Structure 1
Amino acid sequence: MNAPSVRAGQAPADTLASPLLRVVNLRKSYATPQGPLPVLRGIDLSLRAGETLALMGESGSGKSTLLHLVGALDRADGGEILLDGVDIARLSENARATLRREAIGIVFQQFNLVASLTVAENLAFQARLAGRYDPIWQARLTQRLGLERLVSRYPEQLSGGQQQRVAVGRALAVRPRLLLADEPTGNLDEAAGDAVMSLTLELVAETGCAFLMVTHSLRLAARLERRETLVAGALAAS
């Protein structure tokens, strides 16, 4: 199958009428010596461009698995994941890689910065891979994230909060259609976590991307527009 038609920074004309992300009857199991272990049991979920959603639940409820499936990092056993109408499950591996580079930004709890690259190089990393490096937008991100004096440093020379700000900037450098975050403040103290979350929400609003965040924190979840809770692989009734 050809590469997906979703492109960073491009919103369809009917954005207000149609969800950017639509998850339909999503199912995923993992093999164990005792047989298949169901992790996701028929998830239905939607998210519009510019909307923010916190996904909550106990450890083992399937939150990270759902995020990885939506981020095209893993394949589901059944169901659909539609991003601007493109079914991720039907894409080839090359097309999925293109989608991740161009239309999806991902922020992990562990930062995952490249140790051998400076702050400036880490910020530009995904955008350069996607052929979407924009020096004006990078300069704006650098300024908005408070990283101007740190651009020549390496990750090991940064605090945890500074590293996570670089990770957020890297994910947003391509102006993704969808930003995913898996416990993005889990390794930070409360003050640093709040600062990172505030900056992330400001930049999400500026870019107009959809934002799906996995978190255990009720306090952080309350800052997003919507909240859903996973219980044993299914969404709890609201």
Structure 2
Amino acid sequence: MPAPLLEARGVVKSYVTPQGRLQILKGVDLSLGPGETLALMGESGSGKSTLLNLAAGLDAADAGEIRLCGARLGELGEAERARLRRENTGLVFQRFNLIASLTVAQNLSFQARLCGRLDAAWQAELTERLGLARLAARYPEALSGGQQQRVAIGRALAAQPKLILADEPTGNLDEASGDEALALMLDLVAASGAALLMVTHSARLAGRLARRARLEHGVMAPA
């Protein structure tokens, strides 16, 4: 069996609030291997986005261990985590976080250029399959929400990362547009050979992925 791309063992995370310390994750275990797709479900406040941020190295766990591509994130400094994230992961958020001063084509290539892995042929394929060829010279403000989502998906995939982390990636879209965006993302993820961890509230969308897991009260429960 290939080694997991992402592994969480006994992960604990809490935050200080005006009402005191709030424990979000209470010992979470998770494993995701190459080519796997996993939907992470749960109610608002259950810790889904917190776990995704920890997996990306955007935040640090209080206890337990997270490994990304074999590296223990807790043993790395901020700069090392950023490098590991840049070289191995693609991030898709509910808020698209496109760069307003860059065109569609420049936004698509941004992550790939950062890590020195811009592949012109793959970029052209992404642009075509995402239906963005005629929009390549436009800026984000001139795009619809669905078009911006396609750019965000393409940007995450452009560097052909090993792992895609997606937080409610269709949350700002209507049902039809969301279904179409997810279908495209799954198709492109499969084409690139990446693994996908997707946070979603929707059982219907979760059913499109190969595996499902649920966070309840900070721990994993049967999906």
Tell me if both proteins adopt one fold, taking TM over 0.5 as the criterion. Answer: yes
Q: Does residue 107 in structure 1 map to residue 78 in structure 2?
A: no
Tell me how far apart the structure 1 counterparts of residues 222 and 179 of structure 2 sit (CA, whole Å): 29
Task: Output aligned runs, 1:42-191, within 5 Å.
Answer: 42-191=27-176
Post-superposition offset of 1:90: 1.1
Contact in 1 for aligned 2:46/2:216 (Cα 8 Å): yes
Task: Indicate the residue corresponding to 1:205 in structure 2.
Answer: 190
What is the letter of the counterpart of residue 188 of structure 1?
L
Aligned to 1:13: none
Cα drift, residue 175 of structure 1: 0.7
1:35, distance to aligned residue in structure 2 (A): 2.6
Query: Size of the alignment, in residue pairs?
Result: 223
Structure 2 equivalent of residue 231 of structure 1: 216
Contact kept in structure 1, 2:2 and 2:34, CA below 8 Å: no
Q: How many Å separate the matches in 1 of 2:131 and 2:174?
A: 18
The one-letter code of the counterpart of 2:65 is E
**SS of equivalent to 1:105:** strand
CA–CA distance in 1 between the matches of 2:43 and 2:123? Answer: 36
Structure 1 runs of 4+ aligned residues shifted over 4 Å read: none
1:26 match: secondary structure: strand
* Distance in 1 separating the partners of 2:35 and 2:168: 20
1:214 is matched with 199
Q: Secondary structure at the match of 2:181?
A: helix
TM-aligned CA deviation for residue 107 of structure 1: 0.2
| Cα RMSD, aligned residues only | 1.0
Q: Which residue of 1 aligns with 2:25?
A: 40
Which consecutive residues of structure 2, in runs of 5 or more, have no partner in the other structure?
A: none
Q: Deviations over 1:34-76 (max 9, x none)?
A: 3321000000010111000000000000000000000111111
Q: Given residue 23 of structure 1, which amino acid in structure 2 is its aligned partner?
A: A
Q: Displacement of 1:33 after TM fit?
A: 3.0
Unaligned runs of 5+ in 1: 1-15
Deviations 1:114-154 (A, max 9, x none): 11110000001111111111211111111111111110011
Residue 30 of structure 1 corresponds to which residue in structure 2? 15
